[in-house]
Structure 1
């Protein structure tokens, strides 16, 4: 029961901690310097909380002695879990496993709802682009007649970059190339799936602080990541200039646009780039990522392994 209590306490504290949203100060912190790693850490933090809740239920339902005494016969343990013979299950086993099942069902339902809803809107918009837009082979993008300066990408099987005539009229050719590289980075990186995962978790857990903050941070970080990918082939000053022009543009909610509320902050980041993470900082980030992913499983596994060793190797004890 100790492992279950530890995992449940971690899940509650991490989920309900006051994740205050800070002003991003030109995003010069470690997350702004390594957005790909930061996205992975935020997703791992959410996954670790969900895994902790599920594994806490497993630890309640399957006591450590049962795992230790039958470690080589795991299927037999599962079959005898609610039987009267062998190692008795916890009296709370049924309720714990029912709660775990509800959590899994809720996450699956919300994930499906997010993907199906976004897919429906994208297919509808793609049909509109087929009628109103025209493909520009030189740009490799769909040009849409619209006075507002907007550039965005429409993910999906036929992912495409879209730019309006208003943007083409206000941007220099090199700026157009830079902003389209930003949009293609979104498409190649399948950033819409990352955002869908964050949105589904936030929806599944009723916008609780951790999941709500992860959703907003990941939405910002994917833009930084696309900026960095575009900056590998285009001067940062061109990206910055394009972001200034597109800052007030409103892309469809189900698309990924180059402008938006973070555009001006990203301009400062492009013009005054922070140094990349050092080896030690990157190793520390990877270690944190590994701890978040493996920690819950280790907490629930150690008591069972200890019981196994104590039962079969009487001279060895972990406790």
Structure 2
């Protein structure tokens, strides 16, 4: 059992500290935003899977509190009484405490984001007006050209009159398609989950890289969708005319808050590179393959005792 846990510790170190920097250095992924999003989602899932496997193994180490729940492994586990009983019990209790704290911190981050998003919904409802067309937009009287989306059932796209006045018809259609892509692909949910994992595991270099990269990549995915439907020129023109600014918690602004990122997105659209496209089956396979492989490894370690 001790050897299994040691193996999982090594695997945890590789996934939580080395996997993220290695994926970040994969330059070819930057040319295929949709593929990169799927790969990063799989990497984050892998971190969570291997850490849960490690915690479960420690808690199941006799006389850990979970050991009585895995009686079918009794034949390959050490006896209940041995010289390291107090050590293993203490390790199990510490691991359980760490796991509970991580779950609490992650849940608290999700709850805070949800509360702030709801508060912003209420503020928008007080000042917005609702045009007949398009029917998924609420309009706010303000000269600053800003467009962002919020995950909600009705009127999820928020736009200022400044944006409406500054964008031409094609640019406006491209921006709306950008925001609708965020909503269709549940980018807000992906970022919220990664944000919660980062809050729970702030020490993980992989999760830090994932949070940073995914914030950039989901914008590029939405850019690609808008460019595919309306052409690159309207998307580039809209990005240049809109004002920089971060969206509310849980929201996604068309331009984001970083000039450097905006310049990268524009340069990418102006290049001759065509964005990568994935079928639904390929995306699911790529996202599930890393955590599935780690589950196989973890189960193999458990059954090898």
User: Does the alignment reach a TM-score above 0.5?
Assistant: yes
Q: Hey, what's the Cα distance between the residues in 2 that align with 1:161 and 1:38?
A: 26
1:12 maps to 13
Asked if the contact 1:144/1:164 (under 8 Å) is kept, the reply is yes
Where does structure 2 lack aligned partners over 5 or more consecutive residues? Answer: 62-68
Map residues 1-319 of structure 1 onto 2, 5 A cutoff.
1-17=2-18, 29-60=27-58, 62=60, 75-77=70-72, 91=85, 92-140=87-135, 141-158=137-154, 160-260=156-256, 261=258, 262-277=261-276, 289-306=287-304
Asked if the contact 1:3/1:56 (under 8 Å) is kept, the reply is no
1:69 maps to none
Higher Cα Rg: structure 1 or 2? 1
Q: Hey, what's the Cα distance between the residues in 2 that align with 1:90 and 1:58?
A: 18
Q: TM-score, normalised by structure 1?
A: 0.76
Aligned residues: 292
Residue 253 of structure 1: CA displacement?
Answer: 4.3
Q: Hey, what's the Cα distance between the residues in 2 that align with 1:242 and 1:89?
A: 69
Asked if the contact 1:240/1:270 (under 8 Å) is kept, the reply is yes
Q: Hey, what's the Cα distance between the residues in 2 that align with 1:210 and 1:23?
A: 9
Asked if the contact 2:178/2:222 (under 8 Å) is kept, the reply is yes
Q: Hey, what's the Cα distance between the residues in 2 that align with 1:41 and 1:89?
A: 44
Q: Secondary structure at the match of 1:142?
A: strand
Residue 61 of structure 1: CA displacement?
Answer: 5.5
Asked if the contact 1:57/1:96 (under 8 Å) is kept, the reply is no
1:315 maps to none
Asked if the contact 2:117/2:249 (under 8 Å) is kept, the reply is no
1:33-82 CA distance string (max 9 Å, x none): 3323322322322332232233234445557xxxxxxxxxx853378999
1:314 maps to none
Asked if the contact 2:147/2:157 (under 8 Å) is kept, the reply is yes
Where does structure 1 lack aligned partners over 5 or more consecutive residues? Answer: 64-73, 308-319
Q: Secondary structure at the match of 2:247?
A: coil
